[in-house]
Amino acid sequence: MMKKLLYLIFPALLLTSCYEQERKCADFKTGRFRFETLIEGKKQVTELTRTDSLQTETYDGKTTTASVRWLNDCEFVLQNLDPKTTAEKEAFHMKILTTKGNTATIEYSIVGDTHKQQGTVTKLN
């Protein structure tokens, strides 16, 4: 009985351990996007356009532009080009965790901060 059980469990473990989530990061390097995240329990939505080196976004009627520095295919750093406050001077580390079709899950934080947050990016074009 135990041998039969092992014959069932081993293939199941082998199949599930080989599964890797999709990460087509190149699909999310440039284009128009909608970014959604929770901030203090409220859903926040931002529309943005990204090229290889710049990202322009509009949030709450305010448009900002940031430089984009790619660390690898799935990670980049955003730095506000015209910060008005000390908080706006902080650079953000962005990491694409998974992709599925035109949607990606993003992990982000202030550079050097261990507190990570997540959001969803949907490619619009």
Phi, psi of 59 (to 5 degrees): -140, 125
* Residues sharing a CB contact under 8 Å with residue 43, sequence separation 6 or more, in sequence order: 36, 37
Average pLDDT along the chain: 87
Judged on CB neighbours under 10 Å (0-12, 13-18, 19+), 49 is middle
Quick check: 9 pLDDT over 70?
no
The answer to whether residues 77 and 62 touch, using CB atoms and an 8 Å cutoff, is no
21-67 pLDDT, tens digit per residue, is: 678 999 999 999 999 999 899 999 999 999 999 999 988 888 999 99
Quick check: 1 pLDDT over 80?
no
The domains found in the chain, sorted by start residue, are 21-123 (2.40.128.490)
Confidence of residue 103 (pLDDT cuts 50, 70, 90): very high
- pTM confidence score: 0.80
